[in-house]
């Protein structure tokens, strides 16, 4: 079993962070993992994406042309990467910033207003955690509760952000369930 997940959006949206959290969760579960970050020279505001490869056997190449799943946090990312997703994969679309759909009938399209949900929680910077939770709840690429623990570990040095992120996880999970 091998799953490839591409996270893509603007720099500053926490794209690399949620990829890292997913990779860490998969490692905790005992999987082989590759995490490949990529971002433009602009950083904040430029493009940022990363791929996470999760496998139950050694990973031959971390370079992926056609990922199984896509988490698109902005429109340019959806337009660029949605055509590459393998049939049967999950495409999460941040409908707060993306007014269009993937135009794919062979994927599981998950439409979640992640920025709006994060704003309701009081901090738009939690949008990435909402997206990660919704994606994991729908795709089941890793154990949801283990992912929750990985988020706690990631924010252990900033404990004041843990309650916000736990609520972001719960709201992301609810959004995925209500979207079925």
How many distinct structural domains can be found in the chain?
1
The range of the structural domain enclosing residue 156 comes to: 2-178
The residue behind tokens 């089941």 is 140
Contact 128, 15 (CB under 8 A): yes
- How far apart, in whole angstroms, are the C-alpha atoms of residue 82 and residue 90? 10
Within 8 A by CB and 6+ apart from 41, the residues are none
Mean pLDDT of 99-122: 97
Q: What is the pLDDT of residues 141-170, one digit of tens each?
A: 999 999 999 999 999 999 999 999 999 999
Q: Which residues of 17-27 are buried (b: 16+ CB within 10 A; e: fewer)?
A: bbbbbbbbbbe
Could you tell me the pTM of the whole model?
A: 0.94
**CATH code where residue 20 lies:** 3.40.920.10
pLDDT tens column, 13-41? 999 999 999 999 999 999 999 999 987 66
């Amino acid at each position: 079993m091998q799953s490839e997940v591409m996270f893509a959006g603007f720099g500053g949206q926490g794209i690399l962070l949620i990829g890292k959290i997913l990779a860490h969760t998969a490692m905790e579960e005992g999987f082989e993992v590759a995490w490949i970050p990529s971002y433009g020279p602009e950083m904040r505001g430029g493009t940022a994406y990363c791929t996470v490869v999760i496998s139950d056997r050694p990973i031959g190449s971390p370079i992926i042309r056609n990922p199984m799943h896509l988490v698109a946090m902005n429109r340019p990312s959806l337009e660029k990467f949605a055509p590459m997703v393998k049939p049967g994969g999950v495409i999460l679309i941040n409908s707060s910033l993306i007014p269009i759909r993937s135009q794919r009938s062979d994927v599981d399209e998950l439409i979640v207003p992640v920025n709006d949900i994060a704003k309701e929680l009081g901090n738009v910077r939690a949008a990435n955690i909402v997206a990660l939770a919704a994606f994991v709840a729908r795709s089941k690429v890793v154990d949801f509760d283990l992912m929750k623990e990985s988020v706690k570990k990631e924010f252990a040095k900033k404990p004041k952000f843990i309650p916000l992120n736990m609520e972001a996880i719960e709201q992301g999970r609810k959004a995925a369930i209500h979207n079925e």
